[in-house]
């Protein structure tokens, strides 16, 4: 976005939400399919596809707008009801979209379309045909309802800490307090909250596993694991590649995390590092931003102006027009994301800033998504191909975090170097955790008849492998000690098999970080290439075309483990 574009950007508050007309959309799809079936010329097929792309873009935009407005205030009954509409409509629209893409595969001029537009839309069309059918619409609707039920309960969480009532975001500063007694009390309060909801969350997840498995069986898959990989659009790697990646993490990264925790114990001067100590990595506290929460927008705008040498930055433009909401508050949904409003070609950045270390990484992370959405806005005429598969999307965001190190004085002043050390440390600690989440889901969906208790035991066993340093106080944190921590991770409930994407992307991001240490310009050129390619190719092809190595290569993992260890003086 430049100054010219700035003047034409509508304010977010002026966008009008209108419930999509599903009957009209259905009629459009029928008409487009018929025209595709009989299209004798490229022009005729183009015209039909263009009409469909306008219709699906409109639906996607209203869905995204509704999601944002709901998440900004989860107490708003109108948008709560509208989300219920999308629970049902989403599955129906997915089926109709699959029908259009199937028509693309059998169109008389399919070969000419492939020459003009490339093969990616055809890959997606084939994949859609394999993951959706009229037989599973009711299952998809129920799955969406259960996912939203979990998300709603998370957003409504009320945790009592002393005389305070906190949500899941606002309790975070207490969990990483420099006062060990405060940390312990906060973890106990959080543990107590989840223990009181354990049966509810067990039931929601059990129902999710069952409905996903049922849908997979109806589509002819042996388990939801197979269907899950198809949903994640893994075109050029499989579960064996992922399993090998996890083994490399165990071999080269877990030993580093064990060393990190030993150093943490020395820093905190505790006889034994307990679970409630883990979030506090420095005796004088994790570095908090020196800028106030209320000025995050200004600081982030300055960062992106400096990084890309553009005034105003894309972030400035988004902020000026109301497309960022950065601070936590009651009745705001948890988490952070970047949502793309296709009809307007504008991303919206949503997060829950609370004054802690994570805030800066999050605003830069989501800013990376927003930058990529704008950079790739013209990468394809198909909305389905504007964005790449999710592991590539996460390179856009995570790379921005790592390449931000030279500019962290904007947020942290004299503690900038400490932030970078903490961020790298946090990233290394995440990799085993992310792989643990992934392996847990493979176990669960390969064995869908496990009892809730067996799932908790499976998690507990995985913790021993991936996080061998964890020591629970079973009196204070019985929920976590019995293997319940996975219930806090919303991706496990709402986006199965997504979490490994963060790990794959982080290895690619570390490649760019390593390059940026000697030549930031070259690293940014590779980054920009990746963003501008959008979703025009598969994961491994996109990173290759951008000059990056595959994260599945063991030598890549070994080299980066050494570089990170050197950076942290381990």
Q: pLDDT of 183-211, one tens digit each?
A: 999 999 999 999 999 999 999 999 999 99
Q: What is the mean pLDDT of the chain?
A: 94
Contacts of 99 (CB under 8 A, 6+ apart): 29, 33
* Percent over 70 (pLDDT), the chain: 99
Q: How confident is the model at residue 4 (pLDDT cuts 50, 70, 90)?
A: very low
Instruction: Report whether pLDDT(96) > 70.
Output: yes
Q: What is the mean pLDDT of residues 75-87?
A: 93
Q: How confident is the model at residue 7 (pLDDT cuts 50, 70, 90)?
A: low
Instruction: Report whether pLDDT(2) > 50.
Output: no
Residue extents of the structural domains in the chain: 3-132
Give one DSSP letter per residue of 337-374, joined into a string. Answer: EEEEETTTTEEEEEEEE-SSTHHHHHHHHHHHHHHHHH
Instruction: Report whether pLDDT(3) > 70.
Output: no
Higher pLDDT, 400 or 152: 400
The string over 352-383, giving b where at least 16 C-beta atoms fall within 10 Å of a residue's C-beta and e elsewhere, is bbbbbbbbbbbbbbbbbbbbbbbbbbebbebb
Instruction: Supply φ then ψ for residue 438, to 5 degrees.
Output: -65, -45
Which pair of structure tokens corresponds to residue 330? 């009651």
Query: Half-sphere exposure of residue 448, counting CA atoms within 13 Å on the CB side?
Result: 16
Instruction: Report whether pLDDT(534) > 70.
Output: yes
Q: What is the pLDDT of residues 441-475, one digit of tens each?
A: 999 999 999 999 999 999 999 999 999 999 999 89
* 432, 296 Cβ separation under 8 angstroms: no
Instruction: Report whether pLDDT(1) > 80.
Output: no
d(CA 504, CA 552): 8
Q: What is the mean pLDDT of residues 533-552?
A: 97
Most confident of 205-214, 278-287, 327-336, 413-422: 205-214
pLDDT at 20: 97
Of the listed ranges 334-338, 425-429, 532-536, the least confidently predicted one is 334-338
d(CA 366, CA 381): 24
Instruction: Report whether pLDDT(5) > 80.
Output: no
The string over 388-410, giving b where at least 16 C-beta atoms fall within 10 Å of a residue's C-beta and e elsewhere, is bbbbbbbbbbbbbbbbbbeebeb
Of the listed ranges 95-104, 366-375, 438-447, 505-514, the least confidently predicted one is 95-104
Query: Half-sphere exposure of residue 64, counting CA atoms within 13 Å on the CB side?
Result: 23
d(CA 253, CA 558): 9
Q: What is the mean pLDDT of residues 496-521?
A: 97
Q: Give how far Cα 441 sits from Cα of 80, 246, 367, 407, 481, Å.
A: 29, 13, 29, 37, 19
Q: What is the pLDDT of residues 421-437, one digit of tens each?
A: 999 999 999 999 999 99
Q: What is the mean pLDDT of residues 101-124?
A: 92
* 202, 513 Cβ separation under 8 angstroms: no
Q: What is the mean pLDDT of residues 376-404?
A: 95
Tokens 């093969």, residue? 119
Higher pLDDT, 253 or 282: 253
Instruction: Supply φ then ψ for residue 382, to 5 degrees.
Output: -100, 125
Using DSSP's 3-state secondary structure scheme, residue 544 falls into: helix
d(CA 328, CA 555): 41
* Percent over 90 (pLDDT), the chain: 88
Instruction: Report whether pLDDT(570) > 90.
Output: no
Q: What is the mean pLDDT of residues 95-119?
A: 91
């Amino acid at each position: 976005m430049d100054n010219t574009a700035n003047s034409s950007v509508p304010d977010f508050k002026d966008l009008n939400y209108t419930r999509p007309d599903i009957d009209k959309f259905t009629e459009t799809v029928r008409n487009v399919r018929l025209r595709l079936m009989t299209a004798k010329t490229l022009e005729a097929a183009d015209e039909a596809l263009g009409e469909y792309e306008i219709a699906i873009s409109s639906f996607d935009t209203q869905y995204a707008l509704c999601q944002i407005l709901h998440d900004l205030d989860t107490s708003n009954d109108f948008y709560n009801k509208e989300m219920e509409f999308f629970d049902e409509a989403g599955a129906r629209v997915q089926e109709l979209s699959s029908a259009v893409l199937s028509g693309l595969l059998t169109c008389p001029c399919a070969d000419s379309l492939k020459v003009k537009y490339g093969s990616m839309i055809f890959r997606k069309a084939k994949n859609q045909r394999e993951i959706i059918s009229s037989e599973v619409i009711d299952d998809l609707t129920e799955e969406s309802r259960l996912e939203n039920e979990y998300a709603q309960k998370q957003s409504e969480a009320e945790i009592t800490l002393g005389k305070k009532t906190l949500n899941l975001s606002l309790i975070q500063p207490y969990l990483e307090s420099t006062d060990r007694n405060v940390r312990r009390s906060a973890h106990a309060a959080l543990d107590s909250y989840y223990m009181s909801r354990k049966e509810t969350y067990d039931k929601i997840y059990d129902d999710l596993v069952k409905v996903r498995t049922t849908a997979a069986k109806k589509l002819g898959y042996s388990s939801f694991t197979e269907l899950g990989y198809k949903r994640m659009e893994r075109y050029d790697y499989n579960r064996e590649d992922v399993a090998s990646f996890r083994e490399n993490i165990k071999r080269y990264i877990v030993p580093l995390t064990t060393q990190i925790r030993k150093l943490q114990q020395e820093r905190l001067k505790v006889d034994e590092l307990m679970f409630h100590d883990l979030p506090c990595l420095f005796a004088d506290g994790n570095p908090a931003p020196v800028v106030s929460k209320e000025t995050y927008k200004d600081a982030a705008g300055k960062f992106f102006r400096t990084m890309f040498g553009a005034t105003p930055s894309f972030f400035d433009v988004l902020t000026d027009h109301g497309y960022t909401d950065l601070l936590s508050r009651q009745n705001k949904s948890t988490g952070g994301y970047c949502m793309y409003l296709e009809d307007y070609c504008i991303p919206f950045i949503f997060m829950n800033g609370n004054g802690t270390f994570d805030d800066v990484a999050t605003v830069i992370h989501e800013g990376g998504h927003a930058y990529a959405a704008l950079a790739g806005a013209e990468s394809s005429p198909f909305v389905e191909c504007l964005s790449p598969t999710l592991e590539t999307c996460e390179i856009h965001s995570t790379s921005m975090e790592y390449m931000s190190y030279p500019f962290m004085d904007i947020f942290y002043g004299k503690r900038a170097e400490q932030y970078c050390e903490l961020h790298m440390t946090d990233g290394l600690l995440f990799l085993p955790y992310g792989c643990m989440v992934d392996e847990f889901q493979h176990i669960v969906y390969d064995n869908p008849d496990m009892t809730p208790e067996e799932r908790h035991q499976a998690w507990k066993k995985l913790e021993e492998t991936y996080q061998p340093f964890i020591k629970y106080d079973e009196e204070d944190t019985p929920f976590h000690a019995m293997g319940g921590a996975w219930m806090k991770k919303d991706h496990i409930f709402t986006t199965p098999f997504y979490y490994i994407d963060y790990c794959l992307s982080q290895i690619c991001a570390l490649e760019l970080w390593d390059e940026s240490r000697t030549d930031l310009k070259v690293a940014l050129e590779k980054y920009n290439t990746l963003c501008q390619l959008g979703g025009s190719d598969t994961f491994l092809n996109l990173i290759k075309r951008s000059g990056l190595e595959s994260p599945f290569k063991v030598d890549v993992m070994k080299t980066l483990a050494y570089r990170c260890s050197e950076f942290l003086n381990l």
